[in-house]
Amino acid sequence: MSLVVQKYGGSSVADAEKIKNVARRVAKAKDDGNDIVVVVSAMGDTTDELVGLAYQMSEQPGARELDVLLSTGEIVSSTLLAIALGDMGYKAISLSGAQAGIRTDTAHSRARILGIDPKRLLRELKQGKIVIVAGFQGVTEEMDTTTLGRGGSDTTAVALAAGLKADRCEIFTDVEGIYTADPHLAPEAHSLPEIGYEEMLELATYGARVMHPRAVELGEIFSIPIRVASSFSDNPGTMIHGGMSMEARNKVTGIAHDMDVAKITVVGVPDRPGIASSIFQPLAKAGISVDTIVQNASIENVTDLTFTVAKGELKKAMKVVKPIAEGIGARQCASDSRLGKVSIIGTGMQNTPGFAARMFQALSEEGINIQLITTSEIRITCIIDEASIGEAVRALHTAFELEQAE
Ligand code: ASP
Ligand code: MG
């Protein structure tokens, strides 16, 4: 008998009919002779709606209350699924994150899982029950409810798979797996049969929204193979795992894009020790995460410093940076919020020359101006005008022959 952890995302449990569809799929996996733990997200846009309600009460809702509020979304979907399975004649029980033994630190709205105490869960499984765990939440030592950050149910699923030493972890969503690019932008994009953890992590971090990066990271650390597939079909989807074949290693695996990029440039910064820290420390203190940072070579001891933040953080970031820029005698502080980034990702890049050149050529042939470039060992990212993202994704998909990949 295998122990299987299945996770169903918000769009897969968006209404009563869809929850019944999930119940049938879970029942089938149980009938196949497996022990089943199911993790669910909140129904459809519930979490957004709950956030909206909280902000109607206050411009700054308290983090503790907000976490309790948001955790209820997953409680609703988990109980409804348990009720649906019960109605079909299956023994099923819903558990909150706390009841499932998911212990976290106290960082509300972005809590980290410290450990899992699986006693209760194992007891329920032993009694032949299907256990349904509310995703995206845990509990502190003080028994306060925490949430794991938006999209955190994937992390719940992989963490449970690790904690229970499950045989399989399956993430069900509304698309057919991990695609070579967003099919809304590149019609030739197709679902990959398999992908390595490293590449998946870069894809997820740089814009592919199918899986949460933290969940991929956990999967890699605990060597949990993760299958990502559609809850609306029986196609096998994509296996994320560590044992990639050599053949798959020498090319671009996928294109990621992200529209959520804003840029701040501090022009005419004196080039001396301590300047970067005087700008980035206050940003970190304000809780603003900075992505790409580029500093130009200085001419006559003056340089320009450019960095990017999420669009929603631009105003706040400018408020922090402007007075500092004035204080250090910078000439100007400019911003642009109409940017996006496009990335090519593939493990073969680190040992093979020419990937960057091919990427830049493909973009230049479309007349797309590159504003900033960053790289990792297996990724090249260009920051460009947001209006050109669609063209860029299509051009790169063609340039790296992703439509031919099988
Ligand atoms: N419901 C939460 C969210 O929308 C968690 C999740 O869906 O994974 O972010
Ligand atoms: Mg969701």
> Is residue 404, in this structure, part of any structural domain at all?
no
Reported as a pLDDT band with limits 50, 70 and 90, residue 349 is confident
Residue 248 lies in a domain: no
Nearest listed ligand to the Cα of residue 71: 1
Mean pLDDT value of segment 54-59: 97
Looking at ligand 1, which residue's alpha carbon is closest to its atom 8?
151
Beta strands 254-270 and 302-309 are antiparallel
Per-residue pLDDT tens for 151-173? 999 999 999 999 999 999 999 99
In a domain, 172, yes or no: yes
Predicted confidence at residue 248, as pLDDT, reads 55
135 lines ligand 1 (CB under 6 A): yes
Q: Whose CA is nearest to atom 5 of ligand 1?
A: 151
User: Which of 217, 243, 269 is the C-terminal boundary of a domain?
Assistant: 243
Q: What is the pLDDT of residues 220-263, one digit of tens each?
A: 999 999 999 999 999 999 999 997 665 555 689 999 999 999 99
The answer to the question of residue 249 being in a domain is no
CATH number at residue 140: 3.40.1160.10
pTM over cut 0.75? yes
> Mean pLDDT, to the nearest integer, of 327-331?
91
Considering the domain architecture, whether residues 155 and 232 belong to the same structural domain is answered as yes
Look up the domain containing 158 and give its range.
3-243
- Based on the number of CB atoms within 10 Å of its own CB, is 179 exposed (0-12), middle (13-18) or buried (19 or more)? buried
Among 243, 265, 280, give the residue marking a domain's end: 243
**Does residue 300 sit in the same domain as residue 350?**
yes
Q: Give the confidence band of 79 by pLDDT, cuts at 50, 70, 90.
A: very high
Ligand 2 centroid to residue 195 C-alpha, Å: 23
Number of domains the chain contains: 2
Best of 150, 173, 210 for a ligand 1 pocket test (most atoms within 8 Å of beta carbon) = 150
Please give the pLDDT value at position 351.
Answer: 74
Distance 26 CA to ligand 2 centre (A): 19
Same domain, 201 and 289: no
Of the three residues 243, 276, 298, the one that is the final residue of a domain is 243
pLDDT in tens, 350-401: 777 899 999 999 999 999 999 999 999 899 999 999 999 999 999 999 999 9
Instruction: Please count the CA atoms within 13 angstroms of the CA of 130 that sit on its side-chain side.
Output: 33
Provide the mean pLDDT of the chain. Answer: 94
Within this chain, do residues 276 and 330 fall inside the same structural domain, yes or no?
A: yes
Decide whether any atom of ligand 1 lies within 6 Å of the 97 Cβ: no
In this structure, the answer to whether residues 274 and 196 fall within a common structural domain is no
